[in-house]
Structures are given as structure tokens and as C-alpha cells.
A and B are shown apart, each in its own frame.
Chain A
Amino acid sequence: MRALTEEETQTLFSKLANYTGRSLNNLIQPPSDSSKEGERYVFRLHDSRVYYMKLSIANLATSISRENLLSLGTCLGKFTKTGKFRLHITALDIIAPHARYKVWIKPNGEMPFLYGGNIVKAHIGRWSEDCPEHQGVVVFSMDDKPLGFGVTARSTAETRRLDPTSITVFRQADVGEYLREEDTLFTTT
């Protein structure tokens, strides 16, 4: 377990910034400005996975050997061998409150999305205005529960002219993965 390098931090932040706005600052500097050193949040890399946790927990984890340490804090995602960063569904709870663009899907569209499908226009209940294409969005149910995240296929202006069956959001991760990827989601090898 170690802290991230400059390059890794930049890759991670640019990925997170795809989905979040300026409020991403709150991840590093929580608004309830606690002066205690152990209360601030840090990012740690362990087995190519990035975890987000309080500094006090990270310090405690130093007493556990690398082989024996399985996981700590919240896993945000992992670095691929080519150096790119892939967000995991476990990061949803962290990025959902800071989402820049949101899409709400109707109850009839929830199941297709949670089974790993893309979102068609007919299933969209609401969406944030002025969203460009290929922009990260966080997907919510109509009662504001975060369900996953994806990437827009078209801008909002273009989406209006689309027919109901055409894809508007490409799925990136959904909470259905907790069941579907149960055996690989938390394994470290």
C-alpha cells in the first residue's frame, strides 16, 4: 500500500472529473473542515487498486503486511497495465453526490439498465440540460437513488430528435454488478 504518484493522481482525478464538477474538491477537503490530521481523506494504491479512506485508517493499515491486506476504505477503481484508470461501481457512492450531469430513468427502464443494458431514449425520465455527447453522467432512478454511471451517446439537443428506441447513454457501471461480478469485484489477483 502506498500513496499515488503525481501521474497516477492526475489520471485518477481526470477520470473522476468526467463525472463530477467543481465539487470534487470536497473529496480531498471535506466541507466540515476538521483540523485533525487523521481526519483528512487520502487515496492509497494497493495491488493496482485505488482506495479512498481517512488518513487514520491508512496509518493503521501500515501494520498489516502487503500479502495479508485485502482491502481498506472504499475502492474507487483500478489502474490497468497500460496506465489507464477504470472506475468501479464501488466508486458510485463517492461520485454520485458530486455529479455534474445526471440522468433519471423511469421505473420500466431500471431493470434493463441493472442487467447491464444501455439506456434507450424511451426509458429516460429526466436529464440535465446542456450535456454534450460522450460526457460522463450518473444514472439515477426517479426517486433519486444512484444506479450507476455511463457516457452519453448524443448531446441533449440531438437526443430530442432521436426515436424512442435509440441508445442515449452507454452503460459504464451499474449496481447490478454487485451480483453479477460478485466473485471478481473484490478479488485482488
Chain B
Amino acid sequence: MPVSPKFASTAIPSGPNLNLGRERMAPTRTVRSKFAASKSEKSNGSKKSSLGSSGIKKSKPSKGAKAPPPKQQKTRPTARPTKRKRRVYTEKELGLPKLNTITPVGVDLPKGKKKGKIFVDDQESMMTILAIVNANKEGQIESKMMKSRQMEEIREARRKEAEVRQEQRHSKLEERKDSIRRKRNMKTEKNVTSEPLENKERRPQASKSGKKRVSFA
């Protein structure tokens, strides 16, 4: 797109505006030490050279005008000692717990602990470990044995109880059987005693009446 002459003319006035801005910023630069000021000047010079615009020349004289009051610069830094940069701590230095993060077991090592494996190669430490392991195992075996013994006792008691119950049931059954047998015996005995008399009386009748029989030819 070709730049119209109107647009170009409007762009030119921005130069002085820029200059004005530089002039305003100049006091802030002077706040710093002499060395900083000289540095800024240098940098400004380079910038200006690079820009190469018409406004450079106007800014230079302004710099020259500002240079004379160096006494003010010396007094100002003493006036603001509180504005010094405070030390910024990193998160590692603070040791704050991280929020909403999962650290896998073993990755997060405790502070002040030695890194790496601890080898066991001397007899004494091996013997102590073995003693601990042996004690643990014996305890386990003992508890297992105790448990199995208790279970065995419980089972034995239950078995005995069941046996007793079975016997009781059996004896009850026998008693009942006996009683029934006895009853039957009593009846038969009664019948035996009463029968002869009755028989004598009833026999002729019985023989007479008998059972009615029907026979088909």
C-alpha cells in the first residue's frame, strides 16, 4: 500500500512528542548514581544514533543542561535507603510443602538423611537382624500353635457336646421304645389273664358266629 503524503505529514509531529517524553524521564535517570547516569547517556547516544530521527538533536542540548547539578544526585540516595531490594527466597529455601501435588513414596527424601544404600556386611549387624527376624518368626509360630491348639480344644469340646447330645437322644429313644414295649406287654398280659375266662364264655359264640364268609362257586 503506498503511503499517502497526508499520512506522512501526520507522522512527523510525533517526533517532538517523543522528545518531550525523554525530557520528562531524564530526572528519573539522574536519581541513580553518577555512573548509572553516564551509562544511560551512553545508551541514549547509541539509541539516538540508531534512530537517526530529527528529534535527536533537540534532546542533546537538554542533556547538557541537566548535567550541571551533580550535588543533588549525591544527596538523594541517602534519603531513600528503605527502598532497597529485599531478598527473594526461593521455594526450596523456604521448605514449604507443595500444595496439590503428589510426591511418590521414595522420591521425597527426608532432609538431612544420607543418600544411598546402607550395606550390611559385618557379622554383628547381621546377627542383630537375624535375632530380630528369629524372634518375630518364633512369635508367629507360637501364636499359630496357640491358635491351632485353641481351635482344637474348641473342636474337641464341640465334638464331646455333640456326642453327649447324640447319646441323650439315643437313650430317650430307647426309653420310649421300652415304654411302648412295656405298654404292649401290659396289654398282652391283661389279655392273657382275661382271655381264659372270656374264652370259656365266648368260644361257643365265636365258633357260632365266626366270620361271615362269602364264597363264590
Tell me the A residues contacting B by CB distance below 8 Å.
2-6, 9-10, 13-14, 17-18, 22, 24-25, 28-29, 40, 42, 130, 132-135, 155, 157-158
Contacts and interface: CB of A to CB of B under 8 A. Distances in A.
19 contacts: A3-B120, A5-B119, A6-B129, A10-B132, A13-B129, A13-B134, A17-B133, A17-B134, A17-B137, A22-B134, A24-B134, A28-B123, A28-B130, A29-B123, A29-B127, A130-B145, A132-B141, A133-B148, A158-B148
B93 interface: no
B121 A5 contact: no
B129 A10 contact: yes
Contact of A42 (B117, B121, B130, B152): B121
Contact of A3 (B119, B141, B145): B119
B126 interface: yes
A6 B123 contact: no
A9 B121 CA distance: 10
Contacts of B171: none
B136 interface: yes
A5 B120 contact: yes
Contacts of B134: 13, 17, 22, 24
B130 A24 contact: yes
B144 interface: yes
Contacts, number: 59
B118 interface: yes
A33 to B, nearest CB: 11
A134 B141 CA distance: 10
A5 B125 CA distance: 11
Interface string B25-36: 000000000000
A84 to B, nearest CB: 15
B121 A3 contact: yes
Contacts of A135: 141, 144
Contacts of A134: 144
A6 B120 contact: yes
Q: Report, nearest first, the 9 A-B pairs whose CB atoms are least far apart.
A: A132-B144, A3-B121, A13-B133, A3-B119, A17-B137, A5-B117, A155-B148, A9-B120, A14-B133
A25 to B, nearest CB: 6
Contacts of A18: 137
A29 B126 CA distance: 10
A40 B120 contact: no
Nearest to A45: B119
Contact of B148 (A4, A13, A40, A132): A132
Nearest to B149: A157
Contacts of B120: 3-6, 9
A135 B140 CA distance: 10
A10 B132 CA distance: 9
A28 B119 contact: no
Contact of A28 (B118, B126, B137): B126
A5 B118 contact: yes
B71 to A, nearest CB: 72
Nearest to B144: A132
A34 to B, nearest CB: 12
